[in-house]
Structure 1
């Protein structure tokens, strides 16, 4: 009665479980290996020790429903009463089984890392007829119900742990009721490879720059300007091999042609100071921008101190 209830519950739960599907797993064929403990339940004929079962499986995952073909070898040792010509005697022995099962299973939340599942199976078993009978000479109908949980290590690899009831039609001398717990590892083919994210882009490197400011209509260097130029010269020396560009600017007061010449005078004044501070003259380029490239946007004829400058850029 118990075995029929377990099997019926597993079968009836399959369509109900279809309503719980979630996740983004991918379909595909899979193969697996499994092994675990097998308890051949004690009965009037035999008292069996804890045994073991091992085998493999191949199947197809539809993402939620799965179908698979499973083969297992079962082994249990124990003792039982055996009839001999001279009477009955208790002997020790082994009961072996080989089962080939077609299983139908369903994964809840197949795209999740932890995936509960249920299933049921039916097939054929080759069983020892008695504890000392012929070797797996009895062919029986086999059936099982399965409840378990899977750990999706990756899209391709899964580790599963399940508990199951497994039984066969009566092999004769004993009632073949089995409770098993099985651990399995399976691999699903055709799954996307895990691609490492691209490395972050290298941060943009801004060349060191310095700013020197001038009085109105002047190209001579203040003490503050000389200190700034000294800092620029030191930065050049730390780079070893580099180029310096000194770009002169003016504000918008005065004629445009005059301002172009004034910006060049300012840039050359900075170049001369850099040379005095140890920068080779051939490493310095001088550019005059005049009123172009204002730091502070103004109208024409405006005396703006921020626009009267030389920008020193080291590359």
Structure 2
């Protein structure tokens, strides 16, 4: 598998994000906007969250205390919200922008406990060991007798997501007999198109086969576990046939090429079901 390690060092650093519970503490600045009052001052907010990440959608409970000085006195707020958020994830990237909305109650000093809503925009960074950091802007609207009270909060959350796997490193290349040569061609998610790096690998394999007068090649297609078994078996076969056709265009006889498909049954990097893993989307070329 020496070609795999040479062609895809960046893929070995791809992160795998999985569903799981998370907890966090938050803190930041808060601007309290009271109706018909011009003496608002910058205050602060502290709170905590507990939630579940579905990888994309998230659902969380939030408790927060905000403190500001306005109209000549301190004003404390105690809020509780149910937040629904959506993360826009990008394969291999630890950064995920998100948007969300929350509903709940907010207790504002003498005004009592009132219904409140909030809008959320922000970005989260997921570290390798389950830790994450999130920077958010939250606009809270508290409904008080027709005179809404607004809070503008800039909050930083530090948290931990349970069950988050560490960064997956590519396994060391397995030793192969001197009489055999092995090459690996990688594919984009849910695609069987030959990319430019993949074509370079195919050209190397074809040149090696012709230089050594090899008469037998096996081409085995694989898929990751993000789809169903039947679909992945068909996808791995399409990938294997695409590599075979490219080898034939490089001068290899079709009769010398054996085409096989393994679907998701033989992953290069073991993952849970439903996980996208770039190194498992591959075709292995073995020259005998």
Q: TM-score, normalised by structure 2?
A: 0.51
Q: Which residue of 1 aligns with 2:190?
A: none
1:142-171 CA-to-partner distances (Å, cap 9, x unmatched) read 110001011122261211111111011116
Q: Which residue of 2 aligns with 1:147?
A: 121
1:264-304 CA-to-partner distances (Å, cap 9, x unmatched) read xxxxxxxxxxxxxxxxxxxxxxxxxxxxxxxxxxxxxxxxx
**Which blocks of at least 5 consecutive residues in structure 2 are unaligned?**
1-14, 175-288
Structure 2 residue 189 is matched with structure 1 residue 189: no
> Partners of 1:38 and 1:48 in 2: how far apart?
10
Q: Which residue of 2 aligns with 1:35?
A: 27
Q: CA deviation at 1:78?
A: 2.2
> Partners of 1:170 and 1:71 in 2: how far apart?
20
Q: TM-score, normalised by structure 1?
A: 0.46
Q: Which residue of 2 aligns with 1:98?
A: 78
Q: CA deviation at 1:97?
A: 0.6
**3-state SS of paired residue (1:129):** helix
Q: Which of 107, 125, 129 lines up with 1:126 in the alignment?
A: 107
Cα gap change, 1:110 to 1:34, in 2 (>3 Å)? farther
Q: Which residue of 2 aligns with 1:228?
A: none
Structure 2 residue 42 is matched with structure 1 residue 62: no
Cα gap change, 1:32 to 1:94, in 2 (>3 Å)? same
> Partners of 2:127 and 2:145 in 1: how far apart?
40
Cα gap change, 1:27 to 1:65, in 2 (>3 Å)? same
Cα gap change, 1:38 to 1:73, in 2 (>3 Å)? same
Q: CA deviation at 1:175?
A: 4.1
Q: Which residue of 2 aligns with 1:108?
A: 88
Q: CA deviation at 1:199?
A: 7.8
Bigger relative CO (Cα 8 Å, ≥ 6 apart): 2
**Which blocks of at least 5 consecutive residues in structure 1 are unaligned?**
1-22, 80-91, 131-137, 202-315
Q: CA deviation at 1:179?
A: 0.8
> Partners of 2:16 and 2:171 in 1: how far apart?
23
Count of paired positions: 160
